[in-house]
């Protein structure tokens, strides 16, 4: 093999097996996929050690992909539960899973995850550093951070969030901005603390060439983390966020030159009227690299319902240029999500992604919606359930209050508008009294 990474192959005019598979999934030609991988506007995260992977493309002109976060913490250490979340996410069609475990030795869980998962796997090595090395943050060195990154790459992780844009210049801009919420990125806050305590530059920025060398060796996509993403509406679009984004744009070009694929991470919390402009700004500053957003959450006051606030922002973001949505569950800001939270988060994010695919006029995006419309026209309930994004819930709701007549639902009964119109167009009469047999003579 003359190439090490997908982008290197694309630059050489080579169509890899992964590119062909993505083309098939996306109703695109392999040549079109290859050309856009070469330009960096599409990434196919695919570590050479992840043999169970079914490759997916992320980028402009492709269906919006969704990511599911999970992993253990010091207060919730049930690996079996996390693996059940993995299985649920894959069964529900999530294209990506991020293991955000931040407690103890996580290697064994991650190995099982990579061996099992056809979905791409992402991690944040910074989260794992403390448990992996069993060192206090202040005692860590740049080599320590890089060693954890390399360990994840060798295990088969397809993409890694690396907060390389938080350099000394970005930190100074953050300090001047006087934020309401300061830093809400976990990895970003740890790096900020290390930089402030040691007086050193961000090791992932200072040794960026070494980072890229490790990633290229295993074909790991770098997901350049946004340490200064807004954690509340008031901090959106401020100098800290935009200043870091400018640094990320430069790091994006350096990665492409080193034959490493790139994702760029974005906000965060953001008012609805700022989202579209932020997506366009990111595309401009980061050279149309695929954009990965968490939400954005469009209000700060809905704990317990943040899967909804996130889906609203995600649909707007993805129809305005974002390519990859990180799910948010009802448990966001409150606790580690349980299985029901994960399910609700996935469904909400899939709705946002699908709505954006329709708005982006992707090939075949309306096919499932048209199937649903045709089934509703015929009052074919089984076909409706089959076309639903969550068939189990649709069927359960329908059957929870059974209608007297199978062809209607319990809300409208025989006054169903579709039933009425179908009867008239078929030359039949609509006679509620006679059919019910309880009208006054």
Indicate the annotated binding residues for Zn(2+).
269, 333
Find all residues with CB under 8 Å of 22, minimum gap 6, and list them.
Answer: 28, 33, 42, 44, 55, 56, 57, 62
Binding-site positions: 69, 98, 127, 163, 185-187, 226-229, 265, 269, 292, 333, 409, 412, 416
Rounded Cα–Cα distance for residues 344 and 322 (Å): 22
Binding residues for substrate: 69, 98, 127, 163, 185-187, 226-229, 265, 292
DSSP assignments along 24-57, one per residue: HHHT--HHHHHHHHHHTSEE----TT-TT-----
**Strand 58-59 and strand 65-70: pairing?**
unpaired
Which distant-in-sequence residues (6+ apart) come within 8 Å of 334 by Cβ?
A: 303, 304
Select from 345, 346, 288 the least CA-distant residue to 322: 288
Could you identify the residue written with the tokens 């253990």?
Answer: 72
Judge contact between 314 and 293, C-beta under 8 A. yes
Number of residues in the chain: 441
Nearest alpha-carbon partner for 92 in 328, 311, 346: 346
Residues in the annotated binding site for [4Fe-4S] cluster: 409, 412, 416
Q: What radius of gyration do the chain's Cα atoms show?
A: 24
């Amino acid at each position: 093999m003359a190439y090490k990474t997908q982008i290197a192959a694309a630059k050489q005019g080579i169509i890899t097996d992964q590119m062909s598979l993505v083309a098939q999934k996306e109703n695109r030609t392999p040549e079109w996929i290859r050309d856009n991988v070469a330009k960096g506007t599409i990434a196919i995260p695919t570590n050479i050690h992840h043999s169970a992977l079914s490759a997916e493309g992320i980028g402009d002109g492709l269906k919006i992909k969704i990511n599911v976060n999970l992993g253990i913490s010091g207060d919730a250490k049930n690996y079996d539960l996390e693996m059940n979340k993995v299985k649920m996410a894959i069964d529900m069609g999530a294209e990506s899973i991020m293991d955000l475990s931040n407690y103890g030795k996580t290697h064994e869980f991650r190995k099982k995850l990579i061996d099992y998962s056809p979905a791409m796997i992402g991690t944040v090595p910074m989260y794992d550093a403390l448990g992996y090395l069993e060192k206090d943050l202040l005692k860590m060195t740049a080599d320590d951070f890089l060693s954890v990154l390399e360990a994840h790459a060798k295990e088969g992780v397809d993409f890694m969030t690396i907060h390389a844009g938080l350099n000394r210049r970005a930190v100074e801009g953050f300090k001047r901005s006087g934020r309401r919420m300061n830093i809400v990125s976990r990895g970003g806050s740890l790096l900020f603390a290390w930089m402030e305590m040691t007086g050193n530059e961000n090791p992932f920025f200072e040794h960026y060439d070494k980072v890229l060398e490790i990633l290229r060796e295993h074909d790991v996509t770098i997901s350049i983390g946004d340490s200064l993403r807004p954690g509340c509406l008031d901090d959106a679009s401020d100098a800290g966020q935009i200043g870091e984004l400018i640094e990320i744009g430069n790091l994006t070009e350096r990665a492409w030159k080193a034959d490493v694929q790139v994702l760029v991470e974005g906000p965060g919390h953001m008012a609805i009227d700022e989202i579209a402009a932020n997506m366009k700004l990111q595309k401009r500053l980061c050279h149309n690299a695929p954009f990965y957003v968490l939400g954005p959450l469009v209000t700060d006051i809905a704990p317990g319902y943040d899967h909804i606030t996130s889906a609203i922002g995600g649909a707007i973001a993805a129809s305005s240029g974002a390519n990859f949505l990180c799910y948010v569950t009802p448990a966001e800001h409150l606790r580690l999500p349980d299985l029901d939270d994960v399910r609700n988060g996935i469904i909400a994010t899939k709705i946002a992604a699908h709505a954006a695919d329709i708005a982006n006029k992707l090939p075949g995006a309306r096919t499932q919606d048209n199937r649903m419309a045709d089934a509703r026209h015929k009052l074919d309930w089984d076909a409706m359930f089959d076309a639903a994004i969550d068939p189990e819930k649709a069927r359960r709701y329908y059957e929870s209050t059974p209608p007297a007549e199978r062809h209607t639902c319990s809300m409208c009964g025989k006054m169903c508008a579709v039933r009425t119109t179908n009867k008239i167009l078929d030359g039949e009469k609509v006679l509620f009294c006679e059919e019910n047999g309880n009208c006054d003579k």
